[in-house]
Amino acid sequence: MEALQKTLTFKTPSKFEITIREQDGADDETISKLKNAMDGSAVNKLVASIITDYKGKRVTPEDVLKFKNRDKYYILFKSRVFSIGDSITYKHKCSNPDCQKETTYEEDLKQYDRDFSKADTDTKTDFEYQVQPYLNGDKLEEELTLSSGKKVKYKYLNGESEKQMLASNKDEMTKNTELMVRDIQWFHEDKWQLLRNFKVMSPKDMAEIRRHIKLHDLTFEAISELKCPYCQTLDRVSLMAQPDFFFPQEIL
């Protein structure tokens, strides 16, 4: 007789409820194909496979492509903590070219988590890198009026727009690529028009747009600040980008 898999029900940063199952040995095949937990081109299959209930149904990788990114990576984070544990031990090599010594670090993942079943939308916390709620719940796009009077709107980053970024030639990516994949539009001549370039936007307009995106649509990576014990260099790393995020036994 097969043992029943454990499940966990929680709310995401968009405040929708989801139920996931505990990871099992069969998931290792899918996980081993990922470069890391931020590998957006491959992670959709894993997220879809561990979700047992979303709005009364199962989901497909195509459904996950439409999830906003912070929701998707938070689901992955919760799955890791639920299935493997709330601490991570990993190795990191100092970025200082005159040092480059490798150190083993241990991190408590609980400090990155948040209870989204509560009604608060406060983005201020004691811990800078704690996961944040989407301020406008499950909305899929944002509209804003700039101080110049221009009206613009953009879509939240999701799996589809992330896929566009991953497919972009790295040598051709610019600071505006992340805006372009969000299908940013401006209201001009009484209709919304897709911005093919940003000539119509002033530097102040661009700064306001980026500030708005930083407030409303940053993704979740579980960033850790590491101080090298040898040279005191400070590095910022994504814990979800560490191989040991999924396979902690590899550190042994």
Q: Is residue 239 within 8 Å of 221, Cβ to Cβ?
A: yes
Is there a domain that residue 129 lies in?
Answer: no
Residue corresponding to tokens 């700039």: 146
Residue type, 207: A
Q: Which domain holds residue 97?
A: 7-115+221-251
Let me know whether 41 and 156 are in one domain. Answer: no
- In total, how many domains does the chain have? 2
Q: Any alpha helices (H) in the chain, and if so which ranges?
A: 27-31, 40-50, 61-65, 69-83, 159-167, 177-180, 203-216
Q: Is residue 186 within 8 Å of 195, Cβ to Cβ?
A: yes
Let me know whether 162 and 99 are in one domain. Answer: no
Let me know whether 175 and 196 are in one domain. Answer: yes
pLDDT by 10s per residue, the chain, length 252: 345 789 999 999 999 999 999 998 888 877 777 765 555 557 888 899 999 999 999 999 999 999 999 999 999 999 999 999 999 999 999 999 999 999 999 999 999 999 998 876 566 677 889 999 999 989 999 999 999 999 999 999 998 888 887 766 666 667 788 888 999 999 999 999 999 889 999 999 999 999 999 999 988 989 999 999 999 999 999 998 888 888 765 434
3-state secondary structure (DSSP) of residue 20: strand
CA 65 to chain centre: 13
Is there a domain that residue 46 lies in?
Answer: yes
Let me know whether 158 and 40 are in one domain. Answer: no
Residue 96: how many other CB atoms lie within 10 Å: 15
The H-or-E segment that residue 234 falls in is: strand 234-238
Let me know whether 211 and 229 are in one domain. Answer: no
